[in-house]
């Protein structure tokens, strides 16, 4: 047993009362067995409540008692000391943060805290030094704001302006931008003529970022104010972008009029002007102007990205109208003129698919050309599958084997597996296999290592300690830091999913899998742990989902697949169109369905109740399926894009199988939606088939 006696107690006689006092003190020191994680939770709560002396008293002893997360304890203590005005102690208190192994995620925040402490102490030189030394690691825009404040404290107003401008122009939607805007106004007044004007590209960048954030009115106002301050290419670009803001704000007539009369001398700005002029003409249904503008872009700026954008916009418009004679030459110009652009593959596939659906003799040659020209194309699985459909059994076997091997979790894999069952034990075609071997398909990782290495184990242990102390947000930050900066993001993604399933819900857990194990669709199911797949394809609200699927004669796996795509199982989800809940039902549709089903005490908020949403959503899905003759591919198209469109697309050809209808859908979003839901259903079936009761519907 460890002895707690101090050396000065040996060989000395004490009076009785003194001995008693010493024994009591020793008992308090050696006999206390408080839980350090409970103390950490208490200290963190005191810090959050701004009870700084209590936080320091509770936390300071824990730096030694919790060495594996000593950096977090030290950061909390330093924060409390800073708020208490003990600036001199901040840097020393933060030593465990800078010395932690593995690297502490708190290090950049610790640098900012030390710099603030130096600033409060009046040591602006030291503040600037530590910020400069660690600038590349600082979070932005907080880092630039700290630099600006440090320069201002050092009476270097010019440098302060430069860094405040970086914040204001570079991060216009941030809270720091508002601070910098106020400071820039004050500095502009104080410096007068010495005030350094912002660079034109920075001002333009600010307006463009506002446009990206859909702040079109603000962007327009800012661009108008910039025009007198700019010259040359920047001025031309600003003048064009004013009309772009109008176009994005749906003020099409105004944008069209301004663009038609606008004269600019810079080729890039003029190409952009013509592109948006074409979009305006398209929206105004002036097809003659669309064609003439497209021809002008081809003459004047044949290699401009704006010509490519215009080609695709014009061809897509004709595609939506099912006018192959109109769209084929435009798509062809796209992939012939811009063969190295990532958009070229889509253009080539649209032409190829048109030939296939019209049963033209060159369809197979075009599909093989697609695989040679664009081996990494998102349409490669489709090309492989339909080449199989055009081949004899031996050729089909080779193409389907390639899909199953290279795309284990794709829509076309699901149907390729079924085709392979029909073909049986046919020997794959050597000629097709040779073609596939000689094709330059991308090399993808087929397996990931889910055995944590030493660094990942340390991250997980630290995160679990933090979570045990009720510091879930800090635990998530620890794991995210490791996932973003170290070599086993997939391992930490599983841990993140496990943590956030309990705290934030399955939707957030799923997003961590998608973000940090993004290649999961290329992983064979047996190569990853079962928990990984269940986090990627969760099944919450299971009892209600099964119950209402059975009531409506629906496959529960397909219902789960649809929900995963619609809301990621977030019961509070609200779409841009105001659709709500698990199955994303519009309020008006919800009211109509609730009347049909005689749901008592229904209100719009009821759509956020999982059981109610599942009851309405499964019934609605069943009505759509029935209205389309039981064709699931058309029903899913209707669920995503509306029944009228699904019915119109159904008349576009004589579809020999569902995959042909799906590939014909002209909206990329809807096409991908149908394929993803059907793929998800198959994945759910493979994960949960042994757990869900049989006979719930086909």
Q: Which residues are catalytic?
A: 566
Residue 655 · residue 665 · CB < 8 Å: no
Give how far Cα 501 sits from Cα of 323, 348, 446, Å.
Answer: 48, 42, 27
Q: Is 203 helix (H, G, I), strand (E, B) or coil?
A: helix
Rounded distance between C-alpha atoms, residue 120 and residue 325, angstroms = 72
**280 CB neighbour count, 10 Å cutoff:** 25
Residue 279 · residue 244 · CB < 8 Å: no
Q: Residue 580's beta-bridge partner residues?
A: 574, 585
Task: Specify whether the backbone of 677 is left (phi greater than 0), alpha (psi in -120 to 50) or beta.
Answer: alpha
Number of continuous H segments (helices) and E segments (strands) in the chain: 39, 0
Burial class from Cβ neighbours inside 10 Å (0-12, 13-18, 19+) for residue 691 reads exposed
Rounded distance between C-alpha atoms, residue 301 and residue 319, angstroms = 24
Q: Residue 574's beta-bridge partner residues?
A: 580
Phi/psi for 585 (5° steps) reads -105, 135
Residue 201 · residue 235 · CB < 8 Å: no
DSSP 585: B
DSSP 485: H
**530 CB neighbour count, 10 Å cutoff:** 10
Sign of CA dihedral 507, 613, 561, 628: negative
Give how far Cα 55 sits from Cα of 73, 91, 100, 474, Å.
Answer: 10, 18, 22, 17
Q: Is 555 helix (H, G, I), strand (E, B) or coil?
A: coil
Of 432, 360, 367, 376, nearest in space to 401 by CA: 432
DSSP 469: T
Rounded distance between C-alpha atoms, residue 114 and residue 123, angstroms = 11
Q: Is 580 helix (H, G, I), strand (E, B) or coil?
A: strand
Sign of CA dihedral 406, 411, 416, 421: positive
């Amino acid at each position: 047993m460890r002895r707690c006696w101090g050396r000065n107690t040996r060989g000395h006689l004490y009076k009785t009362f003194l001995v008693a006092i010493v024994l009591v003190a020793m008992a308090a020191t050696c006999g206390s067995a408080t839980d350090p994680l409970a103390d950490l939770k208490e200290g963190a709560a005191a810090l959050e409540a701004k009870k700084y002396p209590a936080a320091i008293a509770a936390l300071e002893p824990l730096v030694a008692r919790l060495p594996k997360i000593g950096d977090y304890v030290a950061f909390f203590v330093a924060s409390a000391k800073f708020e208490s005005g003990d600036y001199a102690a901040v840097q020393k208190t933060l030593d465990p943060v800078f010395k932690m192994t593995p690297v502490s995620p708190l290090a950049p925040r610790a640098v900012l805290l030390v710099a603030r402490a130096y600033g409060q102490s009046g040591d602006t030189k030291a503040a600037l030094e530590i910020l400069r030394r660690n600038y590349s690691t600082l979070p932005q825009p907080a880092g630039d704001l700290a630099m600006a404040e440090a320069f201002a404290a050092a009476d270097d107003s010019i440098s302060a302006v430069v860094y405040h401008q970086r914040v204001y122009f570079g991060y216009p939607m941030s809270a720091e931008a508002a601070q910098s805007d106020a400071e820039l106004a004050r500095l502009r007044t104080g410096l007068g003529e010495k005030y350094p004007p912002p660079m034109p590209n920075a001002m333009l960048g600010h307006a463009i970022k506002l446009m990206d954030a859909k702040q079109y009115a603000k962007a327009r106002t800012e661009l108008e104010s910039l025009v007198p301050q700019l010259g040359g290419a920047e001025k031309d670009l600003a003048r064009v972008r004013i009309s772009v803001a109008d176009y994005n704000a749906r003020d099409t007539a105004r944008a069209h009029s301004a663009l038609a009369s606008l004269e600019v001398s810079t080729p890039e700005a003029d190409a952009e002007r013509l592109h948006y002029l074409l979009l305006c003409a398209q929206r105004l249904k002036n097809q003659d102007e669309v064609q003439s503008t497209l021809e002008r872009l081809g003459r004047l700026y044949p290699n401009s990205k704006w010509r490519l954008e215009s080609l695709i916009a014009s061809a897509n418009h004709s595609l939506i109208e099912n006018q192959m004679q109109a769209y084929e030459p435009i798509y062809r110009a796209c992939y012939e003129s811009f063969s190295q652009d990532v958009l070229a593959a889509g253009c080539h596939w649209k032409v190829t698919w048109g030939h296939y659906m019209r049963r033209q003799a060159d369809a197979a040659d075009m599909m093989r050309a697609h695989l040679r020209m664009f081996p990494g194309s998102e349409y490669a699985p489709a090309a492989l599958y339909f080449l199989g459909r055009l081949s004899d059994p031996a050729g089909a076997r080779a193409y389907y084997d390639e899909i199953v091997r290279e795309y284990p979790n794709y829509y076309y894999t699901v149907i390729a597996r079924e085709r392979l069952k029909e073909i049986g034990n046919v020997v794959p075609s050597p000629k097709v296999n040779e073609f596939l071997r000689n094709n330059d398909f991308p090399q993808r990782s087929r397996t990931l290592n889910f055995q944590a290495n030493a660094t990942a184990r340390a991250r997980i242990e630290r995160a679990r300690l933090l979570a045990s102390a009720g510091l879930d947000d800090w635990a998530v930050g620890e794991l995210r830091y490791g996932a973003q900066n170290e070599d086993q993001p997939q391992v930490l993604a599983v841990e993140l999913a496990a943590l956030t399933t309990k705290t934030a819900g399955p939707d957030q857990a799923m997003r961590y899998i998608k973000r940090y194990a993004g290649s999961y669709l290329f992983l064979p199911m047996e190569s990853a742990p079962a928990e990984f797949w269940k986090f990627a394809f969760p099944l919450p609200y299971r009892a209600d989902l099964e119950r209402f699927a059975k009531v409506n004669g629906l496959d529960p796996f397909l219902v789960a697949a649809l929900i995963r795509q619609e809301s990621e199982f977030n019961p509070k989800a609200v779409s841009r169109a105001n659709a709500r809940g698990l199955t994303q039902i519009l309020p008006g549709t919800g009211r109509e369905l609730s009347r049909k089903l005689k749901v008592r005490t229904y209100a719009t908020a009821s759509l956020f109740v999982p059981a109610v949403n599942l009851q309405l959503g499964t019934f609605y899905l069943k009505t759509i399926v029935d209205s389309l003759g039981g064709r699931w591919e058309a029903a899913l198209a209707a669920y995503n894009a509306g029944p009228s469109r699904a019915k119109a697309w159904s008349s576009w050809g004589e579809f020999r199988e569902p995959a042909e209808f799906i590939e014909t859908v002209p909206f990329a979003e809807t096409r991908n939606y149908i394929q993803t839901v059907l793929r998800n259903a198959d994945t759910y079936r493979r994960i949960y088939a042994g757990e869900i009761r049989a006979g719930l519907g086909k």
